[in-house]
Amino acid sequence: MNWYRDISATEKRTLWSCFAGWALDGVDTQLFSLVIPTLLVTWGIGKGQAGLIGGATLVAGALGGLLAGMLSDRYGRVRALQITVIWFSLFTFLSAFAQNFEQLLALKALQGVGFGGEWTAGAVLLSETIRAEHRGKAMGIVQSAWGFGWAGAVLLYLLVFSFVSPEWAWRLLFGIGVIPAGLVLYLRRNVVEPPRAVVSAGSSRLALPAARSIFDRSVMRTTIVGALIGVGAHGGYHAITTWLPTYLKTERHLSVLGTGGYLAVVITAFICGCFVSAWLQDRIGRRLNVILFAVCCVATVNLYVFLPMGDTAMLFLSFPLGLFAAGIPATLGALFNELYPQGIRGTGVGFCYNFGRIVSAGFPVLVGHMGNSMPLGSALGIDAGIAYGLVVVAALMLPETKNRPIATVAANATTRA
């Protein structure tokens, strides 16, 4: 942690502000998955309806990420972060008062807008505040906050449901979701807006934070390739998290999936994967780090689906799988921010990350379709290979950006390999 002692007080405050925002975002978002069984009983809704709420939240999150990126380019990084934190806190709180499925669906979708926007605004703010040689470590540490938020949600769930009846416990949990709004007070007092670079006459056409600016000829190649990385990274992750539990339970008949030990391993692996990626990407570079974790993901998934194993072996293998799956998202924040000039950075980062989120919804569907004509394990292995193979190919088409001083990234810098 020598690097942490070297950074300034401003960098530290920004780092922990973004960490806290993403962790609290993780708490609010993960609480819904924990209270689904209660809602199924209390309201008598079906699993399909519960899945629709989760899906609507994810799609709205992607749209929120796109919007927050453009807002951060127009009104500033800190202000965009404040808006997104207040937004997801408010609609999480209002979800506690939902009276029926339709109201909860609408409120959770609106919450998703803030959930997706918070990552984009925070990632751009942190990338422009932390010095270049430590940017990867800082971004990876902030990504790990999701795992800490996930663990916090589990602990809150256990605590509240131990003392409050289920029909009121889920409402209390959502009500607690207003707490992150207090972070805005800290942001207003302690986090400084990064200085804006002066836009040269030659790049004036990129000065407006309109969505079409990231498709200007000077950055179009970067936008397309970055979006492909986002598609592959999210597609592989969602295919694994959607179908692997079903495969292990229905075809391997493993029972450990429903235990607290399995959940603890998955959360711990996610946090460790972010830390490993944070340390590694500042040493070997963004491209090689993404490629390394993508190849390891494919190898581990295929070990999962083709090797015979019991509960104990599966539990141990869950750790490297979770670690490798977390390593790629932990790299994307630094990588995407280093690819764009400052005037359109928020828009570019928001698009690459969240376009991938939207399109990645097709990968779990593809696994299900392929599973109709072949074993589900084979379909999952092939699908993961396609998704992470796309990440490898796209990463090879980008320049290495490690240690790039992003406040002065030229408009044509991203076209040089």
- What percent of the chain is predicted at pLDDT more than 90? 40
For 59-72, what is the HEC assignment? HHHHHHHHHHHHHH
Q: Is the pLDDT of residue 201 over 70?
A: no
d(CA 140, CA 124): 13
Residue where one domain finishes, among candidates 129, 158, 189: 189
- Does 197 fall in a domain? no
Are 136 and 126 within 8 A, CB to CB?
A: no
Residue 366 has pLDDT above 60, yes or no: yes
What number is the average pLDDT over the span 68-85?
90
Whether 353 contacts 339, CB under 8 Å: no
Q: What is the CATH number of the domain that holds 274?
A: 1.20.1250.20
pLDDT band for position 197 (cuts 50, 70, 90): low
Residue 195 lies in a domain: no
Rounded CA separation 205/219 (Å): 12
User: How many Å apart are CA 385 and CA 417, to the nearest integer?
Assistant: 25
* Residues 252 and 337 reside in one and the same domain: yes
The per-residue pLDDT of the chain, averaged, comes to 85
- Model confidence over 227-248: pLDDT tens digits? 999 999 988 888 877 777 677 7
Residues sharing a CB contact under 8 Å with residue 270, sequence separation 6 or more, in sequence order: 144, 146, 147, 150, 322, 323, 325, 326
Domain membership of residue 78 (yes or no) is yes
Read off the pLDDT band of 367 (50, 70, 90).
confident
Rounded Cα–Cα distance for residues 235 and 158 (Å): 31
pLDDT the model gives residue 412: 43
Give the residue-averaged pLDDT of 313-337. 89
For residue 1, is it within any domain? Answer: no
Among 71-80, 96-105, 208-217, 344-353, where is mean pLDDT lowest?
208-217
Q: Residue 322: which region, alpha, beta or left (left: phi > 0; alpha: psi -120 to 50)? A: alpha
The answer to whether residues 277 and 355 belong to one domain is yes
Q: Are residues 76 and 155 in the same domain?
A: yes
Angle made by CA atoms 225, 226, 232, in degrees to the nearest 5: 90
Task: Report pLDDT for 257.
Answer: 57
Whether the per-residue pLDDT at 196 is higher than 90: the answer is no
Identify which has the larger pLDDT, 407 or 108: 108
Is the same domain home to 180 and 219?
no
In a domain, 322, yes or no: yes
Pair (245, 176) in one structural domain: no
Task: Based on the fold, state whether residues 375 and 406 are members of the same structural domain.
Answer: yes
Are residues 410 and 370 part of one domain? yes
Q: With beta carbons less than 8 A apart as the criterion, state whether 96 and 168 touch.
A: no
Encode pLDDT of 252-297 as tens digits: 676 655 556 777 888 899 999 999 999 999 999 999 999 999 999 9
pLDDT class of 407 with cuts at 50, 70, 90: low
Q: What is the mean pLDDT of residues 304-317?
A: 78
Q: Report yes or no: 402 and 277 within 8 Å, Cβ to Cβ.
A: no
Q: Which residue has the higher pLDDT, 255 or 65?
A: 65
Q: Please tell me whether residue 351 adopts helix, strand or coil conformation.
A: helix
Gap between the terminal Cα atoms of the chain: 32
Number of domains, the chain: 2
Helix (H, G, I), strand (E, B) or coil at 388: helix
What's the predicted TM-score (pTM) here?
0.85
For residue 286, the model assigns a pLDDT of: 94
Say whether pLDDT at 413 is over 70. Answer: no
User: DSSP for 64-118?
Assistant: HHHHHHHHHHHH-HHHHHHHHHHHHHHHHHHHTT--SHHHHHHHHHHHHHHHHHH
Pair (267, 157) in one structural domain: no
The verdict on 151 and 227 lying in the same domain is no
Indicate whether 109 and 252 sit together in one domain.
no
Range from 21-35, 92-106, 121-135, 390-404 carrying the lowest mean pLDDT: 21-35
Q: How far apart are CA 380 and CA 222, in angstroms?
A: 29
User: Is 294 a member of any domain?
Assistant: yes
Residue ending a domain, among 126, 161, 189, is: 189
pLDDT in the model for residue 260: 66
- What are the distances in angstroms from CA 238 to CA 140, 250, 360? 20, 19, 7
Domain span including residue 341: 209-417
Q: Is the per-residue pLDDT at 85 higher than 70?
A: yes
Say yes or no: 258 and 360 in one domain.
yes
Percent residues over pLDDT 70 in the chain: 90
**Burial environment of residue 317 by CB neighbours within 10 A (0 to 12, 13 to 18, 19 or more):** middle
Cβ atoms of residues 49 and 102 within 8 Å: no
Structure tokens at 106: 């609408």
Pick from 44-53, 117-126, 400-409 the range whose average pLDDT is largest.
117-126
CB 338 within 8 A of CB 397: no
What is the Cβ-side half-sphere exposure of residue 344, based on CA atoms within 13 angstroms? 27
pLDDT the model gives residue 204: 43
